[in-house]
Amino acid sequence: MLFWIYDGYGRCLQLLCRLQAVLKSPQSQRLEPNPADSVPSITVLLTVHNEETVIQRRIDNLLACDYPAERLEICIASDGSTDATNSIVRQLQHPQVRLLESPGLGKTATQNLAMQQICSDLVVFTDADVEFEPAWFRRVVQRFQQPDVGAVDGRLFYGRPTTADVQACEGYYWRYEMKLRDLESRLGLLAVLSGCCFAIRRSLFVEMDPSIGEDCIVPLDIVSSRHLVVHEPAALVFDEFGSDSSVTLRRRIRMTLRNWQGTWARSHLLNPFRHPGYAFALWSHKILRWLSPVFLLTATLASALLVALQPGPCSLLTFVPFAALFLLAGYHWVCGGRGRRVPGSGTAYSFVLANLAFMIGVWRALTGQQIRAYRNQ
């Protein structure tokens, strides 16, 4: 199961893509850029809470993107901000930027409120601490020329665009995640989006449950409406890795909890008899991954018990990979911040940390906990 979750599923998708390429007609349709008079209107929905340190930079980045100014609007939905965020936006007095204030409803509820006032063709969901590359809007809009496309997300890189080698800033986990999204998109099986960089057709938006994140529920509603969710790898978005492991752990727990609940809220997509393709992708990409700590602990304990009951070379070889994983993770946790690096320890630590977050997040979801606040304090 662990092999399937973290390697085998990707290999299976690669094989299916190759078969698709063989069976596909050689006369593939090439999408041409939209003429100027048919450029869709876009509203960027930027939901924030106390983002005074980055809000100006984020707005400047969006305004600097290559898209007609008369077709682009930025809606800053400020959810109970108590710092200078609102005053910074007001002082701009920019014709493309407007401020919507909510009294601390929570992120998703604030997005629902903002969507009631948005009537553009497309809506872009994004965050305050990321950065779009200049051609992001045009690359995404081009994918909407296909009438069956309902949502498009970009490729999230960890590392600012000034980094010499952006690829080096990504970990194995995230590179594999981006690979899966690209393959699922090519096969028409994608039902996952990056919450900081995706666009949807306004007409397909369905009001969201305030306890569920937009990155989970929106793509599920899009595919339920018989439209496609596609990944555009050329639409680059830049973010930075967090250096605080406790913050990373809390964020992943929060994301797992909300996404588990959101996915099961659209359980019809998990039924292989009704939606075989999406069920295959969702079970392999999401549900089984969130359950991977169960498989990891079971395999570790079983291999340790095998060594104790039947000591020998074979049983020892079974146990060594799991022992090495936890030893490397423990070493990185204790000594990683002191400059004593051991190859593979960072990857092991990240893997164990992610699985710990999955385990806690799923447990909290199963016990009925919900998150509605913008941030989980």
228 SS3 class: strand
Q: Write out pLDDT tens, residues 42-94.
A: 999 999 999 999 999 999 999 999 999 999 999 999 999 999 999 999 999 99
For the stretch 160-203, pLDDT in tens is: 554 433 343 346 778 899 999 999 999 999 999 999 999 999 99
Which residues make Cβ contacts (< 8 Å) with residue 159, sequence separation at least 6? 166, 168, 169, 170, 238, 240, 241
Residue with tokens 């605080």: 244
Last residue of a domain, one of 241, 268, 291: 241
Q: How far is CA 148 from CA 201, 227, 259, 306, in A?
A: 11, 5, 25, 53
Q: Are residues 284 and 372 in the same domain?
A: yes
Looking at residue 243, its pLDDT comes to 60
Query: What does the pLDDT average to over 112-136?
Result: 96
Query: Do 222 and 86 have their domain in common?
Result: yes
Q: What CATH number is attached to the domain comprising 94?
A: 3.90.550.10
Predicted confidence (pLDDT) at residue 376 exceeds the cutoff of 80: no
Kindly state whether residues 109 and 189 are assigned to the same domain. yes
Residues 270 and 333 in one domain: yes
Q: Which domain holds residue 127?
A: 41-241
pLDDT of residue 25: 64
Residue 332's pLDDT is 86
Q: Which of 236, 227, 224, 233 is nearest to 271 (CA)?
A: 224
% of the chain beyond a pLDDT of 90: 77
Q: pLDDT (tens digit, 9 = 90+) per residue, 323-372?
A: 999 999 998 888 866 666 788 888 888 899 999 999 999 999 999 888 76
Q: Give the global pTM.
A: 0.89
Residue 110 shares a structural domain with residue 73: yes
Cα separation, 152 vs 137, whole angstroms: 11
373 and 282 together in one domain: yes
List pLDDT tens digits, range 280-294.
999 999 999 999 999
Running DSSP on this structure, what letter comes out for residue 39? P
* Domain-ending residue, one of 241, 276, 294: 241
Residue 253 and residue 121 share a domain: no
Considering the domain architecture, whether residues 255 and 328 belong to the same structural domain is answered as: yes
